[in-house]
Amino acid sequence: MPALVRPDLAYMASYVDALHEGYARDSLRPESPELIAQITREPEWFVRLVNNPPTTIVLPDASLGERVPETELWWVEDDRFLGSVGVRHRLNDLLEAWGGHIGYSVRPSARGQGHATAMLAAMLDHIREHLSLDRVTLTVNSNNPASMRVIEKNGGVFRDEIPHPWIEGDTGRRYWIDLR
Ligand SMILES: CC(C)(COP(=O)(O)OP(=O)(O)OC[C@H]1O[C@@H](n2cnc3c(N)ncnc32)[C@H](O)[C@@H]1OP(=O)(O)O)[C@@H](O)C(=O)NCCC(=O)NCCS
């Protein structure tokens, strides 16, 4: 049975395979060949980075923004990496408008098997246990029906449709999920 775990060196061989398959943590920003090469060379560094994220982030428009505290967990079965899910412990104005509390991604070869739905459910349990959030916000691009379905299957309530802050002409949908 798959489980949600802290990122660990034990899964890095499979993680690198997933990167070569086209897995990326952020659907807006595919991992570059240079970063994939560095992760392959220095898996310890990468695991440390994921478990201790920096406090600033380069935004899609290349400006430097605040990176709010975040926990990333991995969805694994035995030593196979299947996907990742991250939770932001709080939102800033930017994330309230787009980004929300939770982001997730499943490696291409494991999609369509219910992993994102189960991984999000497990993350909601993790938040109930470890964070003091009563409600989480999730945003999804309007051209991503699979992700909308994943959110709705986890009790997501449609909030509103919003323009995408970085992609001209794109729209997204905001949802909330009550946790208590
Ligand atoms: C979106 C994503 C996470 C889904 O992962 P997954 O493991 O395939 O999702 P699941 O198998 O749990 O569920 C997908 C659901 O969407 C449905 N679905 C898939 N493609 C669909 C489509 N084109 N239209 C409508 N529904 C669709 C599936 O039928 C399934 O619903 P069901 O269980 O009721 O049949 C995965 O495609 C991914 O990682 N994409 C890239 C990153 C990304 O987009 N992350 C989300 C950002 S908000």
Q: Is the pLDDT of residue 168 over 90?
A: no
Block residue for tokens 């991984």: 119
What is this structure's pTM? 0.95
**Nearest residue by C-alpha to atom 36 in ligand 1:** 106
Per-residue pLDDT, 164 = 87
Per-residue pLDDT, 49 = 97
Q: Is the pLDDT of residue 28 over 80?
A: no
Per-residue pLDDT, 1 = 95
Report percent pLDDT > 70 for the chain: 100
Mean pLDDT for the chain overall: 95
76 close to ligand 1 (CB < 6 Angstrom): no
> Sheet of 135-141: strands edge to edge?
135-141, 171-178, 157-163
Block residue for tokens 């695991």: 47
Per-residue pLDDT, 166 = 80
Mean pLDDT of 43-70: 93
Per-residue pLDDT, 26 = 85
Per-residue pLDDT, 108 = 97
Tens-place pLDDT, residues 113-160: 999 999 999 999 999 999 999 999 999 999 999 999 999 999 999 999
Other Cβ atoms within 10 Å of 22 Cβ, number:
11
**Nearest residue by C-alpha to atom 14 in ligand 1:** 146
User: Phi-psi region for residue 123, left (φ > 0), alpha (ψ -120 to 50) or beta?
Assistant: alpha
Per-residue pLDDT, 114 = 98
Per-residue pLDDT, 48 = 98
Domains of the chain as residue ranges with CATH: 3-178 (3.40.630.30)
Mean pLDDT of 154-180: 94
* Contact residues for 113 (Cβ-Cβ < 8 A; gap 6+): none
Amino acid identity for residue 8 in this structure = D
144 close to ligand 1 (CB < 6 Angstrom): yes
Beta bridge partners of 172: 141, 162
140 close to ligand 1 (CB < 6 Angstrom): yes
Per-residue pLDDT, 8 = 98
> Which H or E element spans position 24?
none
Per-residue pLDDT, 59 = 85
Tens-place pLDDT, residues 75-128: 999 999 999 999 999 999 989 999 999 999 999 999 999 999 999 999 999 999
DSSP 3-state assignment of 26? strand
105 close to ligand 1 (CB < 6 Angstrom): yes
